[in-house]
Amino acid sequence: MAEITAQLVKELREKSGAGMMDCKRALQENGGDIEAASDWLRSKGLSKAAKKSGRAAAEGVVAGLVSADGKTGVLIELNAETDFVAKNDIFQQGARDIAAVALTVEGVEAISAAKTAKGEVVSDLVTNLIATIGENMQLRRSARLSVAQGAVSLYLHNASGEGVGRLGVLVALEGAGDQAVLKDVGRKIALHVAGTPTPPLSLSPDDLDPAAVEKERTFLVEQAIESGKPPEIAAKMVEGRVRKWQEEVVLLKQPFVMNPDQTIEQLVAETAKSLGSPVSVKGFVRFALGEGVDKGPSGPDFATEVAQMTGKA
């Protein structure tokens, strides 16, 4: 059997476009024969999968799962190219399997290298999905929240199947009180995070990204200057507006969507009072499918396409 050198792997990779580990395995399976290894990759669909890797994938699903004890919850985003694939049972099951792995390891790289309950490495699972379904896919991101005592609640909006949707929210409530009550309140807060017109950027003002605060301050100063105020006056004017903006974008200060007369902070305090023990929001995560993904140049809209096809453009 020929030695599987780095140069041999590099040659096969350049020839097939498949991943380095897939090329190495193909060579091992075929005694170092490049042509046989190339055929092996094609038979497994791995060459085809690699060729699709440059295409934009902004559709797919957000999958969520909470552990059996209710104290750990995860979200993962598995992207594909079209919303049609997001409804595919095989694709959705793959997302659920990955979410289950995310309960045991943290971070996309660690999840990708870990094995599912079926014994399949997650990165191989994604590659095989690409080969089977025929679209570029990627495990884009993951998040996990845990509490020592209390409950982690999950809400999936626009669910397209069990445990998958287009928007997912996790909320972790820390407390020693009745877990069922904490889970219910946490789910209500998760509904708020999903449905509020201004999605929260952080848990409290202290947690806000300083860059985001400075960006808003700069915008407000420029707005004030454009209205005719001198720069030094404008700078003083905006501080109050910045504080107001901070209250609008931090979760604890937002009016609760189910009861706008009450803030989330007040809802948590009310829950603590009813349970007779302290309750706090340890954290929250909100994943909206495809947010921030560069979808590339958009094509013409339907009306334009029709006009072009009929020669009326």
What's the pLDDT score for residue 181? Answer: 96
For strand 255-256 and strand 164-165, is the pairing parallel, antiparallel, or unpaired?
Answer: unpaired
Cβ neighbours for 101, distance < 8 A, ≥ 6 positions apart? 111, 114, 115, 116, 122
What's the pLDDT score for residue 251? Answer: 96
Report how far residue 284's alpha carbon sits from residue 154's, in angstroms, rounded to the nearest whole number: 10
Q: Which long-range contacts (CB under 8 A, 24 or more apart) does 89-94 make?
A: 89/161, 90/129, 90/132, 90/133, 91/60, 91/61, 91/129, 91/133, 91/137, 92/61, 92/63, 92/160, 92/161, 92/162, 92/164, 94/125, 94/126, 94/129
**Structure confidence by residue, pLDDT tens digits, 209-257:** 888 888 888 888 888 888 777 877 777 778 788 888 888 899 999 999 9
Q: For 104-126, what is the mean pLDDT?
A: 94
Q: Does residue 52 register a pLDDT over 70?
A: no
Report how far residue 138's alpha carbon sits from residue 155's, in angstroms, rounded to the nearest whole number: 23
Q: How confident is the model at residue 206 (pLDDT cuts 50, 70, 90)?
A: confident
Hey, what are 93's tokens? Answer: 């099951």
Domains in the chain and their CATH numbers? 6-51 (1.10.8.10), 59-205+250-288 (3.30.479.20), 209-247 (1.10.286)
**Structure confidence by residue, pLDDT tens digits, 265-308:** 999 999 999 999 999 999 999 999 988 765 544 433 333 333 44
Q: Read off the pTM.
A: 0.73
Residue type, 218: T
Q: For 112-139, what is the mean pLDDT?
A: 89
Residue 190's nearest CA partner among 211, 170, 216 is: 170
